[in-house]
Amino acid sequence: EAASGKINVVPADAPLAAKTTTNNSLIFTPNTGYTTGAVTVNNQTVAYRAYKAVPYVANPVDAKYENMNIYIPENYFHNKPVGNYTKDTAPIFFPNTVGGYMPGEAGTLEARWGNTESAEAYALCRGYIIAAPGARGRSLIGDDGRYTGKAPAGIVDLQAAVAYLHANDAVMPGNADRIVSNGGSAGGAYSLLVGAAGNSQDMKPYLEALGAANDRTDIFAVSAFCPITNLDHADMAYEWSYNGVNEYAGGMMMAQGQLPLINNNPSKTTATVPQLPKINNGSATAVITPGQTTAESTTAEPKIMGNKNRNTAKKVVLTKDQMAYSKMLKTAYASYVNSLQLKDANGQLLTLNTDGTGTFFDYAKSFIIKSAEAARQDGIDISKANFLMYDKNDPSKMVDVDWLKYNKSVGRMKTPGAFDSRDNSTGENNEFGTTTMNNLHFTDTAALYATDTSPARADQHIVNMMNAMYYLGNSGATNAKHWRIRYGEADSNTSFSIPLMVAVKAANLGYDVDFALPWGVDHKSDYDLKNMFDWIDKVVA
Ligand code: DHB
C-alpha cells in the first residue's frame, strides 16, 4: 500500500564545529616530524619520508580521522628525480580509504582490497607524492552522543585535505596542480565527488567551521573503482538493471556500524515514483500525492520487511510488492536518464523508454560487449557467458547482450529500493542521518512508500552535496578534467549505468574520460596498477 502523500523533510544541521579548539598548525614542515623507510616495487627501491597523521584542519571534530599520511621520496629533498618526476613536477596521489560510507583512517603503504600490491607503494616507486587522508563516516558518535560523521562530513574532510595541499604547495615537494584522487566503492564515489565539487561554495561554511586551510579545493584528475554514487537515483538504476531478477542469495548485510568486507554483499532498497511532479526534489513544505503503483503492489502481499533478509545466507525471493516497487522504479528511470540529455561519442542522444529500452540501453550493452571482446583478446575463455549474442553468419562477432540473462548471471544482491530502503535500514540511510537522527530517507519515493514509522527524509541540499553528477558541469564548481572510471563487469553493488552516466556526462563536458567494465571483475579496487599509473603519467604529461 502506498504511503500518505506528505513528506517530512528534516532540515540540515548547521555545519558541525569542533567542541574544543585545537588550533593545529596547517603549515607543512618538511624537516620535522617524519620517519623514514623504503619500498620496493618491480625491483625498484625508493627511500621516503613518512609524515604520519598530519592534521589537515585547525579544529577537528574527530582528530582520529581528520588527518593525513604524507609520503615523499627522499630524493626530492636532494633535488634528485624519481622515475619521470622531480620535486616540482611530481603528481600527488590522493587515495581515500572509505568503504561503506564508514569512517576511513589515513591510508598507509599497505595493500588493501585483498590485493597483494599496494597502489600507494606502487605510486611512490613511480615518483608520486602520496597524500592519504582519513575522513569521517556515518557511524561516528561524539562524546556528547551526537553523530559527527553524517553527510556531508566525508566530502568536507577530503576537500579540507585538498585545501591543505594547495596551501602548502610551495613548501611541500610535488605539484598541487596535479592532485589525482583515488578510491573504491563508497571511496570511489568520494573520489568522483572530490573531482567534481572543487571550490564549490556549498562546502565553504563546513570547511570554515573546521578551520580548514583557506585555499582551492579543485583537483587535476580522478581515478575511481566501482563507485557507489548518485545515491538519490541509484534505486531506479538498480531496478532498470535487475528488474525481473526476482531471487538472489541473501548476502552479508552492510549493517549499521559494521565495516563492509571486501566483496561482501550489502543491500538496500528505494524508488522514485513516476507520477511525482519532480523526482527527488524534496522541499520542507511539499505535499505530494503519490500516484498509483501497479495492480500487484496493492495486493495483500506483506510489505517489504526491509533488508533484514540480507542477513541470511538463504535464497531471497522478492514479494509481489517488491516486484511492483521494482517495476515502478525501473519505469521512473527513463525520465531521469532523459533529463540528462547525454550523448554518445557520435553525438547521438542517449534516451530510455519506460520499458527500459532505447539508445541508452544499447549504449550500455555495448560496454559489456567491449568488455567481452577485450577479455577474449587477452585469451580469456568467454564461451560460458550465456548472455552474449553472436552473429548467426559470423559466430565470432558479438552483436548483442541478453539483458535479463546478463543481470541474472551477475546476480541481484539488493532488494528493490536498493539504497534508500523503504524501511530506512541501509548504510546509505545511515549516511544521510543528522547529528541527532541516525537514519533518514533521501528520496521522495522511499519517503512516500516507507514502511518505517514516522518516515522522514534528508534535506535535498545535503543529498546534492554527496552527488558527483550534481557538480559535473555545475558553474559553481571546478571539475577535474581527467577521469578514469572502472566498474567490474561482474559487480552488482550498483547498476553499472551509474558509473556510466558519470563517464558520459564528463565526456559530454569535453573532459578526458577512460571508462571500462573489466571482464569478470567483482566489487574491487586498485587491481590494474600498471594501466592506472600509465594513464596518470599520460594525462599529466
Ligand atoms: C559499498 C558497497 C555497497 O554495496 C554500498 O551500497 C555502499 C558502499 C562499499 O563497498 O563501500
Q: How many residues does the chain have?
A: 541
Identity of residue 2: A
Mean pLDDT of 507-535: 98
Mean pLDDT of 485-503: 98
More confident residue, 506 or 264: 506
Cα end-to-end span (Å), the chain: 58
- Tell which atom from ligand 1 comes closest to the C-alpha of 260: 10
d(CA 496, ligand 1 centre) in Å? 13
The torsion of the CA quartet 315, 321, 322, 323, rounded to 10 degrees, works out to: 90
- Looking at every residue in the chain, the average pLDDT score rounds to 90
- What pLDDT is attached to residue 488? 98
Let me know: does 305 contact 323? Beta carbons within 8 Å.
no
> Does residue 484 surpass a pLDDT of 90?
yes
d(CA 316, ligand 1 centre) in Å? 19
- What pLDDT is attached to residue 56? 98
Chain Cα centroid distance, residue 266:
14
- Tell which atom from ligand 1 comes closest to the C-alpha of 523: 10
Task: Check pocket membership of 184 for ligand 1, CB cut-off 6 A.
Answer: no
Burial status of residue 497 (CB atoms within 10 A of its CB: 0-12, 13-18, 19 or more): buried
- What pLDDT is attached to residue 282? 33
d(CA 306, ligand 1 centre) in Å? 17
Confidence of residue 314 (pLDDT cuts 50, 70, 90): confident
- What pLDDT is attached to residue 251? 52
186-196 helix and 153-167 helix, angle to the nearest 10 degrees: 50
- Tell which atom from ligand 1 comes closest to the C-alpha of 266: 4
Task: Check pocket membership of 518 for ligand 1, CB cut-off 6 A.
Answer: no
**Kind and range of the H or E element at 48?**
strand 44-55
Let me know: does 502 contact 229? Beta carbons within 8 Å.
yes
- What pLDDT is attached to residue 419? 98
Mean pLDDT of 362-376: 98
Let me know: does 469 contact 185? Beta carbons within 8 Å.
no
Pull the grid cell for residue 443: 528520496
> Does residue 446 surpass a pLDDT of 60?
yes
> Does residue 464 surpass a pLDDT of 90?
yes
Count of C-beta atoms within a 10 Å radius of residue 35: 9
> Does residue 24 surpass a pLDDT of 90?
yes
Task: Check pocket membership of 266 for ligand 1, CB cut-off 6 A.
Answer: yes
- What pLDDT is attached to residue 67? 99
d(CA 334, ligand 1 centre) in Å? 24
Q: Which of 27-41, 221-235, 306-320, 370-384 has the lowest mean pLDDT?
A: 306-320
> Does residue 5 surpass a pLDDT of 80?
no
Task: Check pocket membership of 253 for ligand 1, CB cut-off 6 A.
Answer: no
Question: Taking Cα atoms as reference points, which of 465, 462, 472, 479 lies closest to residue 199?
Answer: 479
d(CA 263, ligand 1 centre) in Å? 9
d(CA 45, ligand 1 centre) in Å? 35
> Which of 254, 413, 442, 492 best tests ligand 1's pocket when mutated (most atoms within 8 Å of CB)?
254
Task: Check pocket membership of 231 for ligand 1, CB cut-off 6 A.
Answer: no
pLDDT in tens, 80-104: 999 999 999 999 999 999 999 999 9
Task: Check pocket membership of 185 for ligand 1, CB cut-off 6 A.
Answer: yes
Question: Which residue lies with its CA nearest to atom 2 of ligand 1?
Answer: 100
- Tell which atom from ligand 1 comes closest to the C-alpha of 102: 11
The pTM assigned to this predicted structure is 0.90
> Does residue 261 surpass a pLDDT of 50?
no
Task: Check pocket membership of 100 for ligand 1, CB cut-off 6 A.
Answer: yes
Question: Which residue lies with its CA nearest to atom 1 of ligand 1?
Answer: 100
Helices and strands in the chain: count of H runs, count of E runs: 14, 15
- What pLDDT is attached to residue 313? 63
More confident residue, 362 or 275: 362
Mean pLDDT of 468-472: 98
- What pLDDT is attached to residue 507? 98
pLDDT in tens, 150-177: 999 999 999 999 999 999 999 999 999 9
d(CA 379, ligand 1 centre) in Å? 31
Which residues does residue 9 pair with via DSSP β-bridges, in sequence order? 457
Residue 48 CA to residue 37 CA, distance in Å, equals: 5
Confidence of residue 305 (pLDDT cuts 50, 70, 90): very low
Task: Check pocket membership of 427 for ligand 1, CB cut-off 6 A.
Answer: yes
**Kind and range of the H or E element at 189?**
helix 186-196
Task: Check pocket membership of 230 for ligand 1, CB cut-off 6 A.
Answer: no
d(CA 187, ligand 1 centre) in Å? 9
d(CA 333, ligand 1 centre) in Å? 21
Question: Taking Cα atoms as reference points, which of 176, 167, 184, 9 lies closest to residue 93?
Answer: 176
> Does residue 276 surpass a pLDDT of 60?
no
- Tell which atom from ligand 1 comes closest to the C-alpha of 186: 11
